[in-house]
Structure 1
Amino acid sequence: MTGRPTVTKSPPALIPPDGPTPGGTLPLSSIDKTVGGLVNLIQVFPRSSLSTARDDQGAAAAVAAMRNGFSRALVPYYPVAGRVAPSGLAVDCTGEGVLFVEAAASCALADVDGLECCPLLIPGELLLPFPPRGEKLDGHILMAQATMFTCGGFAVGISFSHAVFDGQGAAQFLKAVGELARGFPAPSVAPVWGRDAIPDPPSPPPPQLTEFRFVKQVADISAESIARVKDEFKQAAGEGCSTFDAVTAVVLKCRALALGAALPDDAEVCVAFAAGTRHLLHGVLPAVDGYYGNCVYLACVARTSRAVRESTLAELVGAVREAKDAVAAGFASWMRGVGRFDVPLDYSTLILSDWSRLGFDEVDYGFGMPGYVFPHNDHVDFVAALNYVSPPAPRRGGMRLVLRCVEEPHAAAFAAELAKFA
């Protein structure tokens, strides 16, 4: 490849529902209202992952089937074809549809390292959809862009409204799109709106936000390192732990070591993570499996900086497990209006989200499963954030970390600590 890669985009177009849909206004839940903004992700489909049927039909047929999948999915998921109301408290079921962009890159996926490296060798914004010039992003619930590379591979960029979906819910919708694009008569999981079933306790005051200059980093934790931490915990506690527990303990310790003298010994460092709570709402939601709204509770591990630095990884795994065990009681208290799940949003707090099990890497639009999925949310500078994603082959079995959680003075030290577990 010579020169900087370019992407040529078609004008953005709306894909409306494939049939008539209800109108009206649907209120968002109390959890939906605490989040907002657009979440961006990119699904990478190398030529080797493409299904034989679609590969034989060619790119045009593959994208046409994908568009049809969106159109059909918007009938049962009709609120997604609407717009978030200006108040941010409801969805107006206008039936307008989702924005879709077709695009072609001037290079092969291999020319940009399969979109696996950091920083990306092609601007991520070129792979993401945007509305027509002059039209605001506000209100759009989901937008998609399918970019064809010269090798025959695809990248699918998705932007979804966090006020309407959590990660599991967005993946559920995209799986439905894929199923219908592949000719299923209906989604395998029927969608449930059900926002009015979520309790509405008093809202906490809005947090005080500070803008940071986070450095984007990517690090891999190897399967061998994860197994070693699990073995250490089993020897200490006499029981097993999950990959999430082990990796979160590593992240907590590495970040505390990297911050070092930036925080006093008695300063509290926190790792908060969004724990799914659908399983706690049996009998509350009309159906738990199909619910696609926000359904999480923030669990938090909080220790002094010195305690984290001096703790063994086995001890930190135990702290993560204690935080997970407390979710059910904390969520039940919140539902009664007795507690709330806010955490301090300052430099000492890291908020992580485990994307490795949400299902974004199980979406098949007819291209086959993606070889790699990653978030691209470089606009988030008010909270230290980390996403766990499944690493691309051949590093499967480990965990990839997509990080925006330290500023430049601590970036090298953080990378060096994480590298010990690569």
Structure 2
Amino acid sequence: MKASEIHSSSQHLLENEEQPTTSTPTPTKNSKKLALIPLIFIIFFEVSGGPYGAEAAIGAAGPLLAILGFLIFPFIWSVPEALVTAELATTFPGNGGFVIWADKAFGPFWGSLMGSWKLLSAVCNLASYPVLCLDYIKLIYPILDSGLPRYIAIFFISMFLSFLNYLGLSIVGYTAVVLGVLSLCPFWLITLFSIPKIDPSRWLSLGQKGVKKDWNLFFNTLFWNLNFWDNASTLAGEVEQPQKTFPKALFSAGIVTCISYVLPLLGTSGAVPLEQGEWIDGYFANLASMIAGNWLKYWMELGIVLSVIGLYEAQLSSCAYQILGMAEMGLLPRVFGVRSEWFNTPWVGILVPTLVALVLSYMKFTDIVSSVNFLYSLGMLLEFASFLWLRRKMPKAKRPYRVPLSMPGLVVMCFIPSCFLVYVMFVAHSTVYIVSASLTVFAIAWYFFMEFCKTKMWFDFETVDQDKGWWWCAKLRSVLFSSLCYGWYFFMELCKTKMWFGFQSSQDKETTVIHPSMPPFTDDHVLSLSHLDTDINLHVTFRYLRVYVNDPETRPVEQPDPFQVVTSSLSSALVHYYHYMGSLVRREDKRLELHCHADSGVPVTCAVVDCSLSGINYLDDYHDVNFVEKLVPDPKGEDALTRPFILQVTRFECGGWVLGASIHHSLCDGLGATLFFNTMAELARGSGRVKFEPVWNRSSLLGPRNPPRVEFPFHEFLSLDKNSLPYIEPSKPAVRECFKVKDKWLNRLKGFLHEQSGSNYTTFEALGAFIWRARVKASKIPSEEKVKFAYATNIRRITIPKLPFGYWGNGCVPMYVQFLAQELVNQPLSKTADSIKKSKFNTTDEYVRSFIDFQELHYHEGITIGNRVSGFTDWRHLGHATVDFGWGGPVTVFPLSRHLVGSIEPCFFLPYSSTNEGEKNGFNVLVYLQEEAMVDFKKEMKKLEHIGLS
């Protein structure tokens, strides 16, 4: 249908547009109307709540761009959204806001979809506020940190805040005024205290040299701190003279919001030297302490709690009156529009989002929150479309406030923020797409279910006269629903081709067995392993990957096929390291030995995936576990012994590639494996010889003494139980998280420990002690249970005589520190670091020989480390960076195995990915932990950023 025909067929409707139709909820007759000042602060809390969280803008892009962002971005995003709200809220001054606009523009189906999108977004955001409040309250009352007390506290906080809404919107409004003033006061004060210390040149900084800008974080920070201007439109029916009040309130709230961001950022960024890495959420409190003192820091932290309360009240009000409006429009059953007889508030509309948010607050719903933000963006696109179409459809409608632009100007005004919305949606994580699509399908199904209920008269609905011009919408709905079903199918096919979600998989996999370039031996034979190799705790396969990039700027010559390079160099290296072709066989005494066959080889898989490495962040802290797992061979059971060494080369469409390795730990340790890969890499780059010929004499170099004798109390740390396995998996598998640790945090931690003890500590000792205590505390281990800190230390240069440079077998022995859980958590951190430091002093030739003799005497009894073991290893100095096949060293090295020195929840110290230019100060810490403990562990790790500051 042409636009002129639509205009003509709807002309009979336009004659009465100056009067509200029955499809628009009428303003309430409540005597207590919302006045201008309370409405300003409700809008302020809907949009902002204060500059809490704005710090990340400076951390992402530097002071200049952050300040300009909060000055310019409101004109790009906030002003268009506020203008649309001002015009439509005064044109249709009923409860429901944007739902009414979509309904009037495109019909009830789109009104319902708009309501579902916005309501899902709002309720999930609502669920986070009581939890945020409790996170500060528990600092005073630690009992509220977990368990039943925490659940009870969340319940009562939610009920109390919701009851305030039940008392009336006017009370909520004046409460918002008080909360707004109290929460903003510390920011006005910090701005005043900053003035004498301001150096204007600091405002011109684009960030510290070498620090890479995080544009995604920068724009998201601006977007989510200057958003939700339209939420207050659902309250239009409760506002005193909305035609006059709403434009004034929106303009005033815009001024307050903009100033509340810009002035504190100007003051604090100009008053202190830039440490860009410190500018994260919560840094304003630290700045308050540095600039004015701890009293202002405490006030600012209290202000965060007050701001969160204001955010909750404003958000709940918007949800409640949106539900009320949808009931009055006939989109929901009439019961959802019931008002309290005492306070005239929509108590059902308040109760429903309160209960849903309460349930969500007990759950882990990070992906859902990200997805409902995506849904909000969809709702905003529909809102802009509704605004433009209503201008065209209802040109004669009475508009108490009218945006002073013609249609072309309005299109431009809406187009710019729409482009930004599309960008924000485009950069979302793949999981967000599928959750958002699922919730949208649910929203569509909900509309049809409500329509079905009307036809069956299952519920009582408001009778609404639908515009006859929408007869064609009913026809389109069935087409739309069918299209969505087909669209869902094609979307899933797209997911497969783009390797999103669980569809990520390697394509064109092919495995080839690589043999030595010349025969290293002719007769089959058996090789003995050392007692360190046959330690039952090493009867595991270790899997990890290296990521290589193809950079045309630094390497303009076309690179060869990485599979050919790897297999060719492997074939040459196997002439010397033929042991990797062997098979491990278990003897009668359960020890392993290596069987070498002349016709054997090493399996190497060639795989191709249809995506770029940059799109998955070069696998640096990449969260799609299923995809990463497919990049590394994973032999199971006896296959891990038959094929103790397997490689996989996976090529990406960008020209980069990943080398995945699966190595049985009885063959070698990390240093031995790196020695072999460096040999391969040197041969690949054209070296004609092997730098160090491999040395095998394992049983003689690291064999037991005759007679064996044990001089150290290993029985205090080790368990003897032949029926016990070293790695007993829990009922729920551990999850992994990567944490970035900066040098300045480490320096402050070491300084803090030095003040406690007067001793100096290495990074491994200091950070190991901190993480060990944090994970024991987060795991809530019973106080009287023993907990162990386990690590392996290199003994190649400690044994007498020293091991030869070509020794590539297991050349490390495990070391242990042990405390009661309660003792570890309560004692000074320096005492734990001291114990780790002192354990290193035991690393002597006698300790090594005693450990080997202990293995000789008790191996048949089953030697394990027992339970509650935290395994630690430092990968920063293993030589990974030198494994260069011609593409430069690997940009990312990432372990996938979870079994380490008897621990099923290990901790790896890893270098930063070299793709993160400017962020090489510090390193990554990869931690495995039970999922229920990881939330509290993250909070403990957050303390590392602030330790030593007070």
Instruction: Calculate the TM-score normalised by the size of structure 1.
Output: 0.88
Mapped pair 1:107 → 2:631: no
Amino acid at match of 2:528: P
Q: Is the 8 A contact 1:229 1:313 kept in 2?
A: no
Mapped pair 1:385 → 2:902: no
- Take 1:263 and 1:311, find their aligned partners in 2: how far apart are those partners? 16
Task: Return the match for 1:33 from 522, 534, 555.
Answer: 534
Which whole-Å deviations, capped at 9, do the CAs of 1:17-71 have from their partners, x for residues lacking one? 111112411111111111122110011113349972xx623342x4322211101
Mapped pair 1:20 → 2:536: no
Unaligned runs of 5+ in 1: none
- Take 1:92 and 1:49, find their aligned partners in 2: how far apart are those partners? 44
Task: Return the match for 1:58 from 531, 553, 559.
Answer: 559
Q: Is the 8 A contact 1:44 1:155 kept in 2?
A: yes
Deviation at 1:409, TM superposition (A): 2.3
Instruction: Name the residue aligned to 2:927.
Output: 403
Deviation at 1:301, TM superposition (A): 1.5
Amino acid at match of 2:729: E
Task: Return the match for 1:144 from 647, 652, 663.
Answer: 647
Deviates more, 1:196-205 or 1:24-33: 196-205
Q: Secondary structure at the match of 1:32?
A: coil
Instruction: Calculate the TM-score normalised by the size of structure 2.
Output: 0.41
Q: Is the 8 A contact 2:696 2:807 kept in 1?
A: yes
Q: Is the 8 A contact 2:610 2:653 kept in 1?
A: yes
- Take 2:849 and 2:514, find their aligned partners in 1: how far apart are those partners? 40
Higher relative contact order (CA 8 A, sep 6+): 1
- Take 1:135 and 1:304, find their aligned partners in 2: how far apart are those partners? 38
Deviation at 1:83, TM superposition (A): 1.7
Instruction: Name the residue aligned to 1:79.
Output: 579
Task: Return the match for 1:269 from 756, 771, 787.
Answer: 787
Amino acid at match of 1:318: D
Rate the CA distance shift 1:135–1:306 in 2: closer, same or farther, 3 A: closer
Q: Which has the higher strand share?
A: 1
Q: Is the 8 A contact 2:632 2:661 kept in 1?
A: yes
Deviates more, 1:332-341 or 1:100-109: 332-341
Which whole-Å deviations, capped at 9, do the CAs of 1:372-406 have from their partners, x for residues lacking one? 101012588972222221122343232322222x3
Rate the CA distance shift 1:227–1:308 in 2: closer, same or farther, 3 A: same
Deviation at 1:115, TM superposition (A): 1.0
Q: Secondary structure at the match of 1:368?
A: coil
- Take 1:361 and 1:185, find their aligned partners in 2: how far apart are those partners? 21
Q: Is the 8 A contact 2:544 2:660 kept in 1?
A: yes
Amino acid at match of 2:927: L
Instruction: Name the residue aligned to 2:738.
Output: 218
Q: Is the 8 A contact 1:361 1:372 kept in 2?
A: no
Task: Return the match for 2:836 from 320, 329, 333.
Answer: 320
Q: Is the 8 A contact 2:514 2:604 kept in 1?
A: yes
Deviation at 1:412, TM superposition (A): 0.7
Q: Secondary structure at the match of 2:936?
A: helix
Amino acid at match of 2:692: V
Mapped pair 1:331 → 2:848: yes
Amino acid at match of 2:630: L
Q: Secondary structure at the match of 1:293?
A: coil
Rate the CA distance shift 1:130–1:248 in 2: closer, same or farther, 3 A: closer
Amino acid at match of 1:359: G
1:21-420 to 2 correspondence within 5 Å? 21-22=520-521, 23-34=524-535, 35-48=538-551, 52=555, 56-60=557-561, 62-87=562-587, 89-95=592-598, 96-120=600-624, 123-129=627-633, 136-197=639-700, 198-200=702-704, 205-206=721-722, 208-209=724-725, 210-212=728-730, 213-260=733-780, 262-264=781-783, 266-283=784-801, 285=803, 287=804, 289-328=805-844, 329-335=846-852, 337=854, 344-346=865-867, 348-377=868-897, 383-392=904-913, 393-394=916-917, 395-404=919-928, 406-420=929-943
Q: Is the 8 A contact 2:899 2:906 kept in 1?
A: no
Q: Is the 8 A contact 2:543 2:660 kept in 1?
A: yes
Deviation at 1:233, TM superposition (A): 3.3
Q: Secondary structure at the match of 1:269?
A: strand
Deviates more, 1:101-110 or 1:42-51: 42-51
- Take 1:143 and 1:49, find their aligned partners in 2: how far apart are those partners? 30
Q: Is the 8 A contact 1:9 1:101 kept in 2?
A: no
Q: Is the 8 A contact 2:898 2:906 kept in 1?
A: no
Identity value in percent: 23
Deviation at 1:273, TM superposition (A): 0.4
Q: Secondary structure at the match of 2:907?
A: strand
Q: Which has the higher helix share?
A: 2
Deviation at 1:236, TM superposition (A): 4.4
Q: Secondary structure at the match of 1:396?
A: coil
- Take 1:360 and 1:283, find their aligned partners in 2: how far apart are those partners? 27
Q: Is the 8 A contact 2:870 2:903 kept in 1?
A: no
Amino acid at match of 1:176: T
Q: Secondary structure at the match of 2:797?
A: helix
Q: Specify the structure having the higher radius of gyration (Cα).
A: 2
Deviates more, 1:234-243 or 1:251-260: 234-243
Which whole-Å deviations, capped at 9, do the CAs of 1:223-275 have from their partners, x for residues lacking one? 11111122233444545322211221111121122123x312x3222111011
Q: Secondary structure at the match of 2:889?
A: coil
Which whole-Å deviations, capped at 9, do the CAs of 1:89-110 have from their partners, x for residues lacking one? 2111214121111111110012
Q: Is the 8 A contact 1:41 1:373 kept in 2?
A: yes
Q: Secondary structure at the match of 2:642?
A: coil
Deviation at 1:174, TM superposition (A): 0.6
Which whole-Å deviations, capped at 9, do the CAs of 1:184-205 have from their partners, x for residues lacking one? 1122222111212212377965
Amino acid at match of 1:313: L
Q: Secondary structure at the match of 1:367?
A: coil
- Take 2:552 and 2:540, find their aligned partners in 1: how far apart are those partners? 31
Q: Is the 8 A contact 2:531 2:852 kept in 1?
A: no
Rate the CA distance shift 1:153–1:411 in 2: closer, same or farther, 3 A: same
Q: Is the 8 A contact 1:51 1:368 kept in 2?
A: no
Deviation at 1:421, TM superposition (A): 2.5
Q: Is the 8 A contact 1:229 1:314 kept in 2?
A: no
- Take 1:420 and 1:124, find their aligned partners in 2: how far apart are those partners? 30
Q: Is the 8 A contact 1:38 1:160 kept in 2?
A: yes
- Take 1:343 and 1:27, find their aligned partners in 2: how far apart are those partners? 22
Amino acid at match of 2:511: P
Amino acid at match of 1:401: V
Deviates more, 1:307-316 or 1:274-283: 307-316
- Take 1:258 and 1:119, find their aligned partners in 2: how far apart are those partners? 22
Unaligned runs of 5+ in 2: 1-429, 431-493, 709-717, 946-950
